[in-house]
Amino acid sequence: MDRVAVIGASMTQFGQRDAWIRELLAEAGEACLADAGVAPDDVEHLYVSNMASGEFEGQTGVPNALAHDLGAIPAYTQRVDQTSSSGGAGIYAAWQSVASGASDMTLLVGGEKMTHRTTAEATDVIASLTHPAEYKHGVTLPSFAGLTARRYLHEYDAPRESLAKVAVKNHKNGVDNPHAQFQKEVSLETVMDSPVIADPLRLYDFCPITDGSAALMLCPESVAAEYTDNYAVISGIGGATDTHVVHEREDPTVMGGVVDSGKEAYEMAGIGPDDLDVAELHDMFTILEFLQMEGLGIAEQGEAWKAIEDGRTEKTGDLPVNTSGGLKSKGHPLGASGVAQGYEIYKQVIGDAGARQVDADIGLACNVGGFGNCVITTIMEAGQ
Amino acid sequence: MDRVAVIGASMTQFGQRDAWIRELLAEAGEACLADAGVAPDDVEHLYVSNMASGEFEGQTGVPNALAHDLGAIPAYTQRVDQTSSSGGAGIYAAWQSVASGASDMTLLVGGEKMTHRTTAEATDVIASLTHPAEYKHGVTLPSFAGLTARRYLHEYDAPRESLAKVAVKNHKNGVDNPHAQFQKEVSLETVMDSPVIADPLRLYDFCPITDGSAALMLCPESVAAEYTDNYAVISGIGGATDTHVVHEREDPTVMGGVVDSGKEAYEMAGIGPDDLDVAELHDMFTILEFLQMEGLGIAEQGEAWKAIEDGRTEKTGDLPVNTSGGLKSKGHPLGASGVAQGYEIYKQVIGDAGARQVDADIGLACNVGGFGNCVITTIMEAGQ
């Protein structure tokens, strides 16, 4: 079967944007069409990754609006929602549309408009994805992160500073990302002295609330050649759920969805973690970077903190993680985040990542929905 | 390529249900697993068609909840939203998951819980899918239906009664559907004397607001044989958009999305409208049944009303339309409706439609999102 190629990508300025969801989606969509050199009426399928435009903005039907705004009618269009991993789910949906033969040119646009709502309102919308048995008792995603971090530090005898070092690293990487919400370094002391949010986690262990959008253009590899000789292929992809009730998990330091989706993606690509050159992990909370490194076999169980301490995941290390700055520095506009992870990996493997470029032929993106309720792992390789 | 088979289906009682969205989805999901004889842990992908559980109920993340409730973890799961055609979009997503090779067993469950909200609230949520240039001026979907019906009657010199006869026919068919919200006949006089809603359309020209769910089980045809020797195949499927701003359409009596998605589906199946034995059309408003019959080539442009007058679409006619009772009598729980259309066509082509059974080897379902903003057309044929 023809492999699925990525022939173009875009990412808008992440941060507090004076634009509504329709405008954000159109901005990324137009930029991606231009980047790929694809005419709007050549788009056959158009997927929109978005969690909650209805709840945040009172606007639904945004895929139809986007088809209209891009001039892509009569392209088939649909919204993909998998909560905070809607972007990764969008990559999977777009991949399926091409791999099934349904579409020879699929545009995926992910976006979310959130900053016009208060942090409490936004947290409430996000918390509605969790099990009522937990969220009605006030256990939101940040609470899970705090509880899990405490367990992890205790279980594996890890220093609190190792978590803070994730934030320091990702902020340092974000300086080179012109689209990142925070393009500034933070010191270990700043992180360690920031206000407690969910003990032991502090303000700088959390990603911000963000507006933004990103896009990818997918087509069969045989079609890619008509547009460019420098493209990526999605060589592996998989998705998996874990218990919806988080407290039912046997070991709270293991995310089953990360393990299972990673296995699927590695198997399809015919590679293992040692073959990776770069990875984007879903660092909505610093502790999640550890859990994904371990779940994906990048570090042994309980040893991701040592990799951070040893600088292995720095840009100069064995396996650079979150060269984009991650969700931590780049921001986390729910539906856009997984697509923006794909943007970074695509740019890295085609050698177009500018100041963020590392030596990379194979990259992985892991997008986590809820608190690991559903996870999508994608592997891209340089084409040809 | 292996064709995609449907090996099981379910539909819950449609109407005013004392159950929340999670319960409705689980009810249809469990019934479909039982009908197909598939164990929960054999499900590889699980798609949920739902427009607005967040807006209606403050609950998101329902696909993860459903994977949990069915015992289907670690199956990959995702929500499919295409407004009122979310169900048809779900069939397309489930088809793609199997046809792409990503899943060998895909469960699709569609559902919506709406009746706990007032009609005004529900209409407001639905109206949020239209273009702000229209809905901010009070033009909701029922308004579009009234304007279009007036134009149609004028343009094609059709009698007002022909629209009413759609309601009469579909209510008559619904008597034989134990899952229908209204299992009762209505007379032509009842429809013609009911209160005006959007002139010339009256109360009985509109579908009700409904709670309910439905499900389908899809797998490669080669796998189907392990489960049953009586299955259907999806021989054709296509989706297409029309202008998001409805008043920009050149001819308001033509829905481009119906025409384009129908063409795609016919071409893939290698058949034409004359080959159909049965059809489920999206009669959210009576006028829509005419527009789809004409857009799909079941009747000539401007002549669908004659087919109704001649009884051609009755159960005893050349091409029975809406043997299930349609949205009109069955009800229209947004995310469920397209899946329930698939349920009816599946039951008809495998010869298991009970009192509703007609002589059918090939059937078509047309699911309309918004006011034709996006349309999905699916063709099923008896397997083997």
- Map tokens 């399928």 to a residue: A45
Angle at A55 between CA A53 and CA A58, to 5 degrees: 70
Instruction: Write down the pLDDT at residue A312.
Output: 98
H/E stretch holding B167 reads helix B160-174
Which residues of chain B neighbour A54 with C-beta distances below 8 Å? 52, 54-55, 125, 128
pLDDT by 10s per residue, chain A, length 384: 689 999 999 999 999 999 999 999 999 999 999 999 999 999 999 999 999 999 999 999 999 999 999 999 999 999 999 999 999 999 999 999 999 999 999 999 999 999 999 988 998 899 899 988 888 888 889 999 999 999 999 999 999 999 999 999 999 999 999 999 999 999 999 999 999 999 999 999 999 999 999 999 999 999 999 999 999 999 999 999 999 999 999 999 999 999 999 999 999 999 999 999 999 999 999 999 999 999 999 999 999 999 999 999 999 999 999 999 999 999 999 999 999 999 999 999 999 999 999 999 999 999 999 999 999 999 999 997
Q: Is B129 close to A61, i.e. CB distance below 8 A?
A: yes
Question: For residue B133, what pLDDT band results from cuts at 50, 70 and 90?
Answer: confident
Q: Which CATH superfamily is domain B130-208+235-382 in?
A: Thiolase/Chalcone synthase (3.40.47.10)
> Whose CA is closest to A236, among A345, A103, A334, A319?
A345
The whole-number average pLDDT for the span B47-70 is 96
* Residues in chain B within 8 Å Cβ distance of A245: 68
- Quickly state the pLDDT bin for B384 (edges 50, 70, 90): confident
Burial class (CB in 10 A: 0-12, 13-18, 19+), A184: exposed
pLDDT of residue B151: 97
Q: How would you class B175 by CB atoms within 10 Å of its CB: exposed for 0-12, middle for 13-18, buried for 19 or more?
A: middle
Instruction: Give one DSSP letter per residue of B74-101, joined into a string.
Output: TSEEEEEEBTBTHHHHHHHHHHHHHHTT
The beta-carbon neighbor of A79 closest among B64, B74, B81 is B81
* Side-chain half-sphere CA neighbours of A255 within 13 A: 35
Q: Which of A88, A122, A85 is nearest to A210 (CA)?
A: A122
Could you tell me which chain B residue has the CA closest to the CA of A373?
B64
pLDDT-derived band of residue B106, with 50, 70 and 90 as boundaries? very high
Q: What is the pLDDT of residue B1?
A: 66
Residue with tokens 């509880």: A147
Inter-chain contacts counted by CB atoms under 8 A, chains A and B? 193
CATH superfamily for B4-117+210-232 is: Thiolase/Chalcone synthase (3.40.47.10)
Any idea where the domains of chain B sit in the sequence?
4-117+210-232, 130-208+235-382
Q: What is the pLDDT of residues B324-347, one digit of tens each?
A: 999 999 999 999 999 999 999 999
CB-CB neighbors (< 8 A) of B244 in chain A: 61, 64-65, 67-68, 73
Does B17 have pLDDT greater than 70? yes
Give the integer Cα–Cα distance in Å for A78 and A49. 9
Pairing of strands B76-81, A76-81: antiparallel
Q: Has residue B18 got a pLDDT over 90?
A: yes
Pairwise CB contact (< 8 Å): A95 & B100: yes
Token pair for B182: 């209204």
List helix spans (H) across B184-225.
Answer: 188-193, 221-224
Point out which residues pair with B176 in neighbouring strands: none
The CATH number of domain A4-117+210-224, selected from 3.30.70.1520, 1.10.10.10, 3.30.420.40, 3.40.47.10: 3.40.47.10
Tell me how far apart the terminal alpha carbons of chain B are, to the nearest angstrom. Answer: 15
Share of chain B above pLDDT 70, in %: 100
How many angstroms separate the CA atoms of B264 and B259, rounded?
Answer: 9
pLDDT average, residue stretch B134-145: 89
Q: What is the pLDDT of residue A327?
A: 98
Q: What is the CA radius of gyration of chain A?
A: 19
Q: pLDDT tens digits for B39-49?
A: 999 999 999 99
Both tokens assigned to A209: 């609330």
- DSSP string of A166-203? HHHHHHHHHTT-TT-S--S---HHHHHHSPEEETTEEG
pLDDT digits (tens, 9 = 90+) for A205-235: 999 999 999 999 999 999 999 999 999 999 9
User: What pLDDT, on a 0 to 100 scale, did the predictor assign at position A132?
Assistant: 84
**B364 contacts B379 by C-beta, under 8 angstroms:** yes
Q: What is the mean pLDDT of chain B?
A: 97
Alpha-carbon gap, residue A313 to A334, rounded angstroms: 24
User: Would you state the pLDDT for residue B137?
Assistant: 86
Q: Do B76 and A373 touch (CB under 8 A)?
A: no
Chain A residues whose CB is inside 8 A of the B243 CB are 68, 73
CB contact under 8 A, B73 and A1: no
- Residue B103, classed as helix, strand or coil, is coil
